[in-house]
Amino acid sequence: MKRFNLLLAGVGGQGTLVAGKLLSDVALQLGLDTRVSEVHGMAQRGGSVTTAVRIAPQVHSPVIEPGEADFILSFEELEALRWASHLKVGGVMIMNQNRVMPVTVSMGQAQYPEAVEQTLRQAELGSTRVFSIDATGLAQQAGSVKAVNVVMLGALSQLLDIPERVFLQAIEHVLPQKLHAINIQAFELGSGIMKATQTD
């Protein structure tokens, strides 16, 4: 796939913008154009933040409208619900099994939605698919919970016609050398869990 729109939805501190930079490097290696934008700007840790990535032979705007996203990578369950309307029919949602309680929930002013994955699956239309993975647990297994973004990219890589080595080279290009080993392992764990999920 050499043309796609992708939303990275999470909360501050989960690395959605870094994931966008990694995807931009992937596009550059493939000779493709890319536009990356932070939809809601920088968020404080725990606040909602979403990064839009558009990749194609030529991209004029970074904006992804509702119903236009081929993929949504949701680093947190509530963000999956918040941005589900942006997924196109036939698109793919990859959701991290992770909950970050909003301030309103912590203060008892609201309740966190129950059965998020079930709600998303009930809303599936056409060939839309929802994958739910424990990306946070896999990141911890790799050596750092901060690698959750690269675990999610590893999972995504199994759905794209892009060689794995291109993603690994992007990790080496974008991230500091001291983080290469952890993030390469995180990528491979994400890739592996998606392979296993697809063969279940």
Share of the chain above pLDDT 70, in %: 80
pTM score, whole prediction: 0.85
Q: pLDDT-based confidence at 40, cuts 50/70/90?
A: low
Please report the pLDDT score of residue 41 as a whole number.
Answer: 45
Which DSSP category does 45 fall into?
B
User: What confidence tens digit (pLDDT) does each residue in 4-31 have?
Assistant: 999 999 887 788 899 999 999 999 999 9
Fold of domain 4-199: Pyruvate-ferredoxin Oxidoreductase; domain 3 (3.40.920)
Please, where are the H alpha helices in 30-179? Answer: 77-83, 103-106, 116-122, 135-142, 148-157, 164-174
**Domain segments of the chain: what residues?**
4-199
Sign of the alpha-carbon dihedral angle for 41, 39, 57, 26: positive
